[in-house]
Amino acid sequence: MNSIRRMYRVAACCLTAMLLTAIVPIAQAQGDGPNFINLRLIEVHADKVSEFEELMKQRSAAEAEAGERFNHVFQRLRGVLNGYLIVSPGDGSDTVEVDLPDSWGPSMSQAIKNHTRVTAAVGPRTMTNGPVEPNGEYLYVRLRTVQPGKVAAYRDWQDNKLIPALREEGVGDVRSAKVVLGGNPATFVRFAFMDDWPGAGVGGGGPLAGVLAEESAMLATSQNLFYRVRDDLSFTASD
């Protein structure tokens, strides 16, 4: 049977959207309004990793051919080692149709053990004119869910204290986003790209330590995730 034009919607093929989410860095530079990204947190069956990665290559190639803007894939390095984070444009009007074999969807469903999808609005970044594509070999993700009634205060702290302090520290590329669909809307995510294996992180002392100390009083939960950038599974369209 001939390949048909089909929209890639792993969410429809697989599981429910839950969890919180993510931000991620990896989105368009800020314009007149917010930019949105879809974040898929995927756990793959241990014996299906090779198959999953081959399917991801096919998807990225098909989306690049169809004119999609980007598809960025990251592989988890701590915790769930068969875990992946996939970041793609989140404005539904920009979703393109791609050519994939009829067998692609069922094969992907069989490879995936768990799947969470959220949409996040991208906020200020330390590199306002930075590249859309990942800028480093590793990705350090900080998930922060704030207490009820603290969303506005946290946003103000992040935009007007944390990010300026990070700039002062010379941090090269940190991006932020806030969950708007599919997860807890009180969840913020910061992504930092780096070339070396993530250590303790930024802010061991000095003025930044005081800024970071303000964060804990506003938080309900926090989680740190570490990923490796998978350039072989990703693409970014050239302008």
User: Mean pLDDT per segment of 10 residues, for the chain of length 239 residues?
Assistant: 34 27 35 76 97 97 92 93 94 75 96 96 73 87 95 94 86 85 95 75 66 94 95 90
Domain presence at residue 109: yes
CA dihedral in degrees (155, 208, 37, 53; nearest 10)?
-150
Domain presence at residue 38: yes
Question: Can you give the residue range of the structural domain that contains 150?
Answer: 4-232
For residue 131, give the 3-state DSSP assignment: coil
Distant-in-sequence, close-in-space partners of 54: CB < 8 Å, separation ≥ 6: none
pLDDT at residue number 166: 86
CA-nearest of 10, 222, 221, 23 to 120 is: 23
What is the CATH number for 129? 3.30.70.100
Strand partners, 187: 145
Distance, in Å, from the CA atom of 93 to the CA atom of 61, rounded to the nearest integer, reads 20
pLDDT at residue number 13: 30
Domain presence at residue 238: no
* Number of folded domains that form the chain: 1
Domain presence at residue 93: yes
Q: Contact, 63 vs 17, CB < 8 A?
A: no
Domain presence at residue 237: no
pLDDT at residue number 10: 31
Domain presence at residue 239: no
pLDDT at residue number 207: 76
For 125, half-sphere exposure in the C-beta direction (CA atoms, 13 angstrom radius) is: 28
